[in-house]
Amino acid sequence: MKTKLFLFALVAIGFFGSFENKPSNKEKTKGYILEHERDIRVQQPSPHEAPGITTAYPYFSKADSLKIVFRKRTLGKGSAIGYHFQKWDEIYYIVSGTGIMKVNDESFPVSAGDAVLTRPGNWHGLEPTGKDSLTVIINYNQ
């Protein structure tokens, strides 16, 4: 059920965001963009000033006029998404692993299949727990 709701939310964000998008001529001709994670994989410092290195998959980051962000990120031992102030709605979907999500003064466990919607005006961060990496998909409008 959680997966179905998450997928519905992603489709809705993509659908409603698409009215303002103006694709490039190449995108108009093809009608789609296909990206493979093996081609976009990049090692990056943990976001929001957290320690460690993460593996990021910034899907469609080079698409013309795209107003949504769809990113997969793997957090290994010693990395995290730093505690930061939220300016817009943002969805975190846990693909694999376990972690601790902190929103304002509350911390709670998350694991594969969980989705968390963080709302504007709040603080949040995420760190992996256990021996395995934590992989998350992050989605928001820019």
In the DSSP assignment, the letter for residue 130 is S
How far is Cα 21 from Cα 122, in angstroms, rounded to an integer? 28
Q: What is the pLDDT of residue 15?
A: 46
Question: Can you give the pLDDT at residue 130?
Answer: 84
Residue numbers in the chain where pLDDT is lower than 70 = 1-29
Instruction: Return d(Cα 103, Cα 139) in angstroms, integer.
Output: 17
pLDDT of the residue at 19: 46
pLDDT score for 30: 81
Q: What SS3 class is residue 45? A: strand
Q: What confidence score (pLDDT) does residue 142 get? A: 84
pLDDT of residue 11: 45
For the chain, domains (ranges, CATH) are: 2-141 (2.60.120.10)
